[in-house]
Structure 1
Amino acid sequence: MEFKIRKASLEDLNETAELFNLYRIFYRQESDVERGKAFLKERFQNSESDIFLAMADGKAVGFVQLYKLFHYTKLQKQWLLSDLFVHPDYRGKGISVALIERSKQWCAETNACGLMLETEKTNDIGNNLYPRCGFEYDGLHNYYHWWK
């Protein structure tokens, strides 16, 4: 199967929102395409993230969303690989790896020092995928969240 990776834009909002909704459902969230669409629209309009789409069979079948961060020891920009999803019908075809490779290329294009990500300990697919793509597990840090 052939697929192509391209940068998403506001014109891709509907297709991206459908995939984003499936992604959220994967992480046990309630389906809410309209709220997800509003969220993504704001990211596009405010240039707050960069999204790459995997296109196959004339439609979007996967995406990766990157947010800009800054690394305190390297004193450079880095990217948070926040969201990565491939439609279940298109898994096992190398699309996730291609989206990660495109993200690495984006680092080079934007003079960033690298990518960081976190995933759930129970995400067996991701926890096997990321080391295969050159990511190193950081067992030295604990990640904490504060929600208002």
Structure 2
Amino acid sequence: MEIITATKAHLHQLVPLFDGYRVFYKQPSSIERAETFLSERFQQNDSVLYMAVSDEGDAMGFTQLYPSFSSVSTQRTYILNDLFVSEAHRKKGVGEALMVRAKEFAIVQGAKGVTLETGIDNPAQKLYERLGWKRDTEVFHYTWEI
């Protein structure tokens, strides 16, 4: 397995994964919507995408990081917004490899760190904690949606 920085050239491999990610979160499947969204990210250069590729060249999973800033610490930080491993490749260390790569990226960038949000019933929490991620118990997160 290799973790690569995905580019627009990898769009054909990423789109089915991204669509699967959205379906996992109970959104209707839409290859067109997935392709449009990812194309915009590459065009606007507003996220960093890593993709796990098998030795045979199959796309196994991806993670997407968005830059942000911490005003309090006056440092850049990253939001690990998306992490997905195709069902056929789960329990093989793909998610772990993607998360390790995200942490390495943040270190090289001199960032404060990486933040993620997950469902309270997501079994991947065990992985996050094993990799040294800490559950925030000091603040609440609120969302306002249109």
TM-score by length of 1: 0.94
Q: Which residue of 2 aligns with 1:69?
A: 68
Q: CA deviation at 1:75?
A: 0.9
Q: Which residue of 2 aligns with 1:78?
A: 77
Match among 132, 135, 140 for residue 142 of structure 1: 140
1:21 and 1:11 map into 2 onto residues whose CA distance is 17
2:127 and 2:137 map into 1 onto residues whose CA distance is 17
Match among 16, 21, 24 for residue 22 of structure 2: 24
1:9 and 1:118 map into 2 onto residues whose CA distance is 25
AA aligned to 1:101 is V
Q: Once superposed, what is the RMSD of the aligned Cα atoms?
A: 0.9
1:131 and 2:129 matched: yes
1:27 and 1:90 map into 2 onto residues whose CA distance is 18
AA aligned to 1:7 is T
Query: Sequence identity of aligned pairs in percent?
Result: 38
1:81 and 1:147 map into 2 onto residues whose CA distance is 20
TM-score by length of 2: 0.96
1:86 and 1:108 map into 2 onto residues whose CA distance is 23
Q: Which residue of 1 aligns with 2:47?
A: 49
Q: Find runs of 4+ consecutive structure 1 residues off by over 6 angstroms.
A: none
- Per-residue CA distance 1:34-77 (angstroms, 9 max, x = gap): 10110110011101100000001212110000000101222100
Q: Which residue of 2 aligns with 1:93?
A: 92
1:140 and 1:33 map into 2 onto residues whose CA distance is 39
**Structure 2, unpaired ranges of 5+:** none
